Amino acid sequence: MDRDLALLSDNKINRGRLIEMARFSGTADNGDINVALRLAIQAAKEGLGADLVTWVLLIAYGANGGFAGQNDLTVEIEASVP
């Protein structure tokens, strides 16, 4: 039972089948989450060799401020080909 739960936590269910999803990230140096997400999805499409991918947003994180005025925002997604 624990093994099955671990399997489900590492994979997603898509139309009744377990599929493995790869991780991708995108970073926007202007703090725009839309740019970061677009870059992550673009990386997923290129990495998976597909024009259409399904994805799940896992996490968003960044840094803001300081002497240099840093404004980075990174998103991580899991993606697969439907």
CATH code, domain carrying 27: 3.30.1660
Of 31, 51, 33, residue with least CA distance to 79: 51
pLDDT by 10s per residue, the chain, length 82: 344 444 444 455 555 555 678 999 999 999 999 999 999 999 999 999 999 999 999 999 999 999 989 999 999 999 999 8
The domain in which residue 37 lies consists of 20-80
Structure tokens at 37: 């997400």
Decide if 2 is inside a domain.
no
Residue 14, pLDDT score:
53
Decide if 49 is inside a domain.
yes
Decide if 22 contacts 47 (C-beta within 8 A).
Answer: yes
Number of domains in the chain: 1
Residue 47, pLDDT score:
96
Decide if 40 is inside a domain.
yes
Decide if 58 is inside a domain.
yes
Decide if 27 is inside a domain.
yes
Decide if 14 contacts 80 (C-beta within 8 A).
Answer: yes
Decide if 1 is inside a domain.
no
SS3 25: strand
